[in-house]
Structure 1
Amino acid sequence: MMHDPVALFVEDARAVSIDDAAKRLGLKFSGRRHEHPQPCPHCGGTDTFAFNTAKNKWNCRAGGVGGNDGIGMAAHCEGLDPHRRAHFLEACSIVLGQPVPDEAEQESAEERNQRLARIELRRRQNQADAATRADSQADFREKERNKARGIYRPLAPLRTSSLSFGRFYLGRRCAGYPDATWLRVGSDVTYWHGQDERGAPIALYSGPAMVAPFIGPGFELIGCHITWIDLDRAPKYRPILYGLTKEGEKAGLVPWAFGDPAPSADDLSAGLYEQLATKKMRGSKKGALIPIAGHPEAHRWVGGEGIENGVAFGEWEGWRDDSFYFAAGDLGNLSGPAEASSRFMHPTLKKPDVRGVMRPVMIAGSKPKIDQAPDDAMWVGDHVDELVLLADGDSERVMTAAAMARARKRHQRPEGELQRLIPIIWPRSGYDFSKMAAEAEAGT
């Protein structure tokens, strides 16, 4: 049990929002309204880490961890283990910008009573704030889901649409496309980024896109995944877009508009502008999955992180009639969170801690979190007997291998029941399945 002198300190830290904690950690605010993707300060990558100031949540797809408090975010970013008391208090110190109180400091009985009263008041306030945030987040989530439905439902199926760019995109990236209607296309899908002086979202770009649904266990549409397409930009065939960062705003720079010249290399390296991701999701992703081909009632499921890898693998094995092909959206949603005790040191990668000392990067282990919720990872139907998991060979190998092993354990049936067959299939080192398919199609 934590000693009284630090109890108020901890409660104060728990009251710190994700927004304030991100500022204290020096994380990047991308200029988007609420979602701020960026390289993970602990795991690296390009856009594997993100925090959302509206939902008061953070997530690291690389590490397979996330949460809804600043303490946990600080602990992850700084390589601290929040289950160790000293590390937990260090994370509290970071988000508060205050040193950990001296537990040896003496206090009078009156001071102690006053402090205990403040602790109780802070706890009650934290509980009330959490309830208010939960209601607000539920409203926000439902609005986002409705927006996702409004984007996806009016569009035409990629396979039969008169708009051919979706078929060309998958043909060039994956050597083919599925004979299915889950994936859809639109010629004029808006890319929203940033806000104007009144706080309204800005339409940065509008153009061709492939749109896929996120569905829950009841096959209900709860979100959508959008991939903007530019067939003139090989090898990814996606447009190049830029956004003004918070640092750029402070420097007095103007927002980048589509059609403008690209920002200078100096401005990009200084963090004044950033190249934006040309894949986005709307609505809810957590616990859901993206259907690609077949039906979820199939007894064999095949999928990994992204749509393109699932399509490439489906093309390679001839889109089996007994199979359902899917994508989880990202590695965290595929594997779920890890049990903290399973964390281990990366054999080679190191990063400086808050004191500048180089320490091994900690990797989320292969053991699934014991008390995780059903929607902490994508759902798998109870009837599924074989689950083929597709790994990415172009991601960091140790982290990916741990996450894939965790996914296999997470999605296995309980002991005592007939076990699923869950093979993990890896592409060639340094490749993903879509790159292998594209090179094979091109004969290179």
Structure 2
Amino acid sequence: MIPADTIAAARNKSIIDVALALGAAEAVKIDERGVPCPLCGGRDRFSIDKAKNVFLCRPSGTGGDPIALVQHVHGMSFHEAIELLTGEKALPAAKRAPRNDQQDNQYREKARLRAWKIWQDGAPIEPARHGHWVHDYFCLRAIPFPAWRIKALREVSQLPYWHRRNGEFVVIHSGPAMLAAITGPDGRFIGVHRTWLDLGRANGKAVIADPDTGEVLDAKKVEGSQRGGKIVLRDGEPGCGVCALGEGIETVLSWDAPQTGTDLCVFNGNCFPKAALWVGINIGNIAGKAAEQIPHPSLLVTDKLGRKRRQKVGGHEPDLSDAHCLQIPADDFERLILLGDSDSDRFTTQAAMLRARKRFELAGHNAEIDWAPDGQDFNDALRAMVAHPRARAVA
């Protein structure tokens, strides 16, 4: 058994310092900035979250704390990674050959084809077409089952959850899942978003834990690409010209739910035909990279010398050179309603949403932000409204 304080010492290492020691590019210091993965290369596959002290490698779906990062790069066991992090020796950088553009494109295409296979194996979600997993999941989340057919959603009864363990990918869970097709700017399929389900839990999402550490892993993963992509839940009524855009499927459908049973959407006292509903998958994809970093008013980070410094996060101004985030031509929609969840750090989220609004305004859109009530996302607000209909939450 490894002493708990030894595990804690390894886990509390700065994810930035560990990533840099393992060969990550200096740009990894900037939140929301993707860089080549120290293990599998690419251009922007690898990123870190300084606030949570974790990393994410998008192609493999691998993520976690500094221990998991050492395991990811060197294929070590949990015990070996801790020894390396807490020992006196310097962390060795990954030994990999640089990838050229052709290899990178081949890698992406292989990931897209894997995603396409998963998507093809999915079944319709509509009860009339023998679907039930997504229908029951939505019921648990108080989301009315859509009256229209969502072509971008499918379901599967058994989907393996692959996880990197001791240098190899192994299946650590298998169960029902909701599938969502991710399409690129040209409408071409580029990836599949997966949500593993457990209808015995209150929120309907499966709890999947790392078999070595017990760490609860994300029940949502993407195979293929998500940068610049979107999940189209509804095209919108002809001539509407309005699109509601949020991070998650549940968020966007929950925002639309109060309009169920009507032919119009109502926002800020204005009525318009049913809006298009798009999912941007994550806030970084919606907001794009920031032109500058700004200090957080309260979050602190510890540097190599043990000094406490204010953490920096992406600011309000967009980096207009970022071509890999979600792009929406002005001809597609005149008006965008950006859905802001209020259940995470408000300062960071608000900076990203303001950046998104400015980026879309510069592209010719009339963009507005609709915030969920404080401390909630839109699904929290919907469930509260259903439970207490006379005390309807107001954003």
TM-score, shorter chain, exceeding 0.5: yes
- Does the aligned pair in 1 maintain the 2:59–2:111 contact within 8 Å? no
Q: 1:353 aligns with which of 296, 300, 303?
A: 303
Secondary structure of residue in 2 paired with 1:285: coil
Q: 1:143 aligns with which of 110, 122, 141?
A: 110
Question: In the alignment, what sits opposite 1:44?
Answer: 52
CA separation of 1:274/1:37 partners in 2, compared to 1, >3 Å: closer, same or farther?
farther
Question: In the alignment, what sits opposite 1:334?
Answer: 286
Partners in 1 of 2:46 and 2:205 — Cα distance?
A: 18
CA separation of 1:386/1:22 partners in 2, compared to 1, >3 Å: closer, same or farther?
same
CA separation of 1:19/1:158 partners in 2, compared to 1, >3 Å: closer, same or farther?
farther
Q: 1:184 aligns with which of 149, 154, 165?
A: 154
Partners in 2 of 1:155 and 1:300 — Cα distance?
A: 30
Partners in 2 of 1:166 and 1:358 — Cα distance?
A: 46
Question: In the alignment, what sits opposite 1:226?
Answer: 194
Question: In the alignment, what sits opposite 2:360?
Answer: 411
Look at both structures and tell me which one has the larger radius of gyration over its CA atoms: 1
Secondary structure of residue in 2 paired with 1:150: helix
Higher relative contact order (CA 8 A, sep 6+): 1
- How far the C-alpha of 1:51 sits from its partner, in A, is 3.5
- Does the aligned pair in 2 maintain the 1:37–1:51 contact within 8 Å? yes
Task: Name structure 1 gaps, 5 residues minimum.
Answer: 1-15, 26-32, 59-94, 98-128, 249-271
Partners in 2 of 1:327 and 1:432 — Cα distance?
A: 14
Aligned pairs for 1:95-106 within 5 A: none
Secondary structure of residue in 1 paired with 2:177: strand
Please tell me the residue identity of whatever aligns with 2:343. D
Aligned pairs for 1:6-405 within 5 A: 20-21=22-23, 40=49, 42-44=50-52, 49-51=55-57, 132-159=99-126, 160-178=128-146, 179-181=148-150, 182-195=152-165, 199=168, 201-234=169-202, 236-244=203-211, 248=212, 272-294=213-235, 299-318=241-260, 320=265, 321-340=273-292, 343-373=293-323, 375=324, 377-383=325-331, 384-405=333-354
Secondary structure of residue in 2 paired with 1:203: strand
- How far the C-alpha of 1:53 sits from its partner, in A, is 8.5
Deviations along 1:378-397, one digit per CA (max 9) or x if unpaired, are 12133210110000100100
Question: In the alignment, what sits opposite 2:73?
Answer: none
- How far the C-alpha of 1:413 sits from its partner, in A, is 3.8
Please tell me the residue identity of whatever aligns with 2:327. W
Secondary structure of residue in 2 paired with 1:21: coil
Partners in 1 of 2:21 and 2:133 — Cα distance?
A: 39
- Does the aligned pair in 2 maintain the 1:172–1:438 contact within 8 Å? no
- How far the C-alpha of 1:337 sits from its partner, in A, is 0.2
CA separation of 1:44/1:232 partners in 2, compared to 1, >3 Å: closer, same or farther?
same
Q: Structure 1 residue 426 and structure 2 residue 378: aligned?
A: no
TM-score by length of 2: 0.71
- Does the aligned pair in 1 maintain the 2:320–2:359 contact within 8 Å? no
**Once superposed, what is the RMSD of the aligned Cα atoms?**
3.6
CA separation of 1:50/1:152 partners in 2, compared to 1, >3 Å: closer, same or farther?
same
Secondary structure of residue in 1 paired with 2:22: helix
Partners in 2 of 1:424 and 1:360 — Cα distance?
A: 27
- How far the C-alpha of 1:170 sits from its partner, in A, is 1.4
Deviations along 1:314-355, one digit per CA (max 9) or x if unpaired, are 112337554210111111011000002xx2211122221111
% identical equivalent positions: 27
- How far the C-alpha of 1:299 sits from its partner, in A, is 1.9
- How far the C-alpha of 1:359 sits from its partner, in A, is 0.9
CA separation of 1:280/1:37 partners in 2, compared to 1, >3 Å: closer, same or farther?
farther
- How far the C-alpha of 1:153 sits from its partner, in A, is 2.6
Structure in which a larger fraction of residues adopt strand: 2
Partners in 2 of 1:187 and 1:296 — Cα distance?
A: 33
Deviations along 1:97-152, one digit per CA (max 9) or x if unpaired, are 9xxxxxxxxxxxxxxxxxxxxxxxxxxxxxxx65x343222111101101111111
- How far the C-alpha of 1:435 sits from its partner, in A, is 0.9
Partners in 1 of 2:250 and 2:311 — Cα distance?
A: 30
Please tell me the residue identity of whatever aligns with 1:221. F
- Does the aligned pair in 2 maintain the 1:196–1:202 contact within 8 Å? no
Task: Name structure 2 gaps, 5 residues minimum.
Answer: 1-17, 29-38, 64-89, 266-272, 390-395
CA separation of 1:208/1:413 partners in 2, compared to 1, >3 Å: closer, same or farther?
same
Secondary structure of residue in 2 paired with 1:412: helix
- How far the C-alpha of 1:203 sits from its partner, in A, is 2.1
Please tell me the residue identity of whatever aligns with 2:174. S
